[in-house]
Structure 1
């Protein structure tokens, strides 16, 4: 359980009221009504949508990659973190730190890290473009063995998106399945040429065996990976103070900030 995550309730309806601080842009509306943020997007460009959320709420967003170029959603939340939770679903992890209230502002703002290592398992709307190789029979088959066989085969695909989806599914299954074939596939995927696939595999092994089982590849990423990959790797480092302290001295500001946040949480007595 990542105790440093900070979640807020969201509702998928728009309440009646007079809109204030409204912003519209290419099918996106972000407005504040009666103390809550309302977002309505129809086939909106996802990077631009996130820019608007950050701009309107006064928040800072950090993310390494996104699962889809566009999104359709209707969300209501008390802050930016709640809107993002609504957009990406329960499978995506975030770290949230509150920012000081800016002069003239009445709504609190946050600095938010969206963990790219978990976006591969985001909601179906965000990953549907990667599902072409999974037959309808396999998707609907009740037999767990058939589903596992499908993902094991797709994990060897030459298509990066298909491998990402397959490894994400295998990582989820590994948490509850003691299957040697799944574990072998995840171990192989830790050497994948795509950083997103690699981090999903690391997470899948860590979910069953703990972060100690993947300390070596995580340490290698922190030393040699690019800034985006280093930020993603931090998602799986919860208790290793040596690696967190190394990341707290990173050349990238976002990596340093997230590592410092985790070290602060570790230092709390109730941890």
Structure 2
């Protein structure tokens, strides 16, 4: 595994400081090997803090990292100053108009979404697991950005590495939850290999939500966290292997 942190950039976000980071370039070892930034993991805390420092340095040197205590909600918060690690709000999206802050969303299969309205000087980041996605976390992020002066007609977005349809098997109950919320959601599911199961395209689902909200330019990177062990952490992969823990990667954006 390389010692170099490798930010993945999205053309839709242009010159806005941002990056989707994977597991390369970190100091963690064992099952967390690489750039694990998850304070909630059972990794060595000094390693986690060094990884977070490296992540910031790779995307926006000198910026102050701001992350949340993510709870799979649809709640978005506006950020004006960094939070202490033990005082992070329980939410799943954050927005700011303050230069010098670097918004961070942690994932390990869920969908990281970065937003920007460069003209207004407003950025946002959202953690869209299936619960947050179906309950409107991306809509909440856009609304919070608008309160800071953003215009959804100008907002651009990018979807980073997440679990792909080929790797995301769900059962009938999961499928029905989405189909009952909106029959149109059936288009995001394909037949599974096993009876009574389906393959869910959460990346396409979140992309469609952004389009429905009026976001005209969305880049979906199409990178499968489950399939690329050398590049990304994956909760589902760790679970299937019976591993006792898993790392988290971070997606970053700032002014």
TM-score (norm: length of structure 2) = 0.29
Which structure has more RCO (C-alpha within 8 Å, separation ≥ 6)?
2
Structure number with the higher strand fraction is 2
Instruction: Report the structure number with the largest CA radius of gyration.
Output: 1
TM-score (norm: length of structure 1) = 0.28
